[in-house]
Amino acid sequence: MTAHRSDPLGRVLRTAVEPRAREVDDRGRFPRDTLAALAGAGLLGLTLPSRCGGGGRGLVEATEVITRLARACGSTAAILASHYTATAALARHAGPELLRALATGRHLSTLALAEAGNPGTLPTGRAESGGGVTALSARKNWVTAAGEADSYLWCSRDEEGLSWWLVPSQAPGLCVPAHADAVGLRGSATATITADPVRVPDSALLGTRGGGTVLLVDEVLPWLCALQAALALGLMQAVLTRSVECVTGPQPSWSRWQDPPSRQPEVRADLARMRTKVDTAALVLTDAAGSHWHADGLERLLQARALAGDNAVQVAELGIKVCGQHAFRQDYGVERRFRDAHTAAHGQLPADRALDHLARLTCGQPLLS
């Protein structure tokens, strides 16, 4: 997926993502046209099996796509990252008709795992079945593409354990805010949605009842870690690029009586700190994404997620410092990435929770409790 003339992602970035990124943020507008362009280029189905019309690619390629996309538009990258995470699970359990719709970009899915008021990863939302219908009750937090996706990959708990469900966007009882007024990733339609309860047929169950822990650990958490890290990495790469342009580019006339920023040691030191944090996050993520099938693969991915989330916040803050008043010009885009980076440190798996999971594994404790 490296950039060259025949690269479909490169074309979409130039023609659809970059021209609309500022408007997506300014208006908090869900980027439907951009997603349509990504679908037309086969990128919504990138990670699905080729037998159903997908691209047949894996976590490494998905990570690169999200990183490049986040450099241009964090909101669009967040939407696609959640879609890829959901489709990684659906590829195991969804029927051929749904897989073809996902592969061709006719169906957008998203993840509904985290819950409002619940600090852990394991959901406390309930599932109660009877008469061939299951009632799901929960308040799902940090749901990307809320009210815009065609389905939600929904995790719940009952007496048998964790289960996963595919909840259609039109399912009765699903309450989605009319407008998500976010500070960062403003066009991603990230919001808290409520099921009080939402009713789905028992056939919406993915896999076996109570067997959802394996899917969570083997598929959802690895993809969630890698793609949230990729989102943070792309944002900090964009901040670093704009900061270097600010320091080395033409300076305002009033600054002619002082040394150019590139000759000021403290400015250069801040740029070096930024680059070190960006390069470290990139190296850790590259290693983790390529080694996710190793015995310690999840630990590496948790490290990558936590490091990228923390580094993105620090790089964004240094970018504000280095760019000064330029950082708040809309055409520069540093302030937008500053807000996006702080938001990206949270999400379905916050950086702090990734650290806690990593510490549990390091101490030999159960990952989930």
What would the two tokens of residue 344 be?
A: 């990206």
255 pLDDT band (50/70/90 cuts)? low
Q: What value, to the nearest 5°, has the Cα angle with vertex 200 and ends 199 and 204?
A: 155
Judge if the upstream peptide bond of residue 366 is cis by omega within 30 degrees of 0: no
d(CA 17, CA 101): 23
pLDDT digit string (tens) for 289-345? Answer: 999 888 899 999 999 999 999 999 999 999 999 998 888 887 888 999 999 999 999
Which segment of 43-47, 249-253, 319-323 scores lowest on mean pLDDT?
249-253
- Residue 119 predicted with pLDDT over 50: yes
82 contacts 110 by C-beta, under 8 angstroms: yes
354, burial (CB in 10 Å: exposed 0-12, middle 13-18, buried 19+): buried
Instruction: Tell me the whole-structure pTM to 2 decimals.
Output: 0.94
**In the structure encoding, which two tokens stand for residue 72, read together?**
């241009």
Q: What is the pLDDT of residues 151-203, one digit of tens each?
A: 999 999 888 889 999 999 999 999 998 776 788 999 999 999 999 999 999 99
* pLDDT score, position 177: 85
pLDDT bucket at 3, cuts 50 / 70 / 90? very low
Strands 126-130 and 109-112, sheet pairing: unpaired
**pLDDT, mean of residues 2-24:** 86
| Alpha carbon of residue 267 to chain centroid | 31
What is the number of other CB atoms lying within 10 angstroms of the CB of residue 290? 15
User: How big is the chain, counted in residues?
Assistant: 369
Which is it for strands 205-206 and 174-175: parallel, antiparallel or unpaired?
unpaired
The beta strands (E) that lie in the chain are given as 109-112, 126-130, 133-143, 151-158, 161-168, 174-175, 191-201, 205-206
CA-to-CA dists, residue 300 to 66, 306, 308, angstroms: 18, 10, 12
Percent of the chain with pLDDT over 90: 81
pLDDT averaged over every residue in the chain: 92
How far apart are alpha carbons 48 and 50 in whole angstroms?
6
pLDDT at 263: 81
Residues 81-102 have a mean pLDDT of 96
Among 77-81, 98-102, 170-174, 329-333, where is mean pLDDT lowest?
329-333
pLDDT in tens, 52-67: 999 999 999 999 999 9
* Residue among 307, 350, 333, 345 nearest 73 (CA): 333
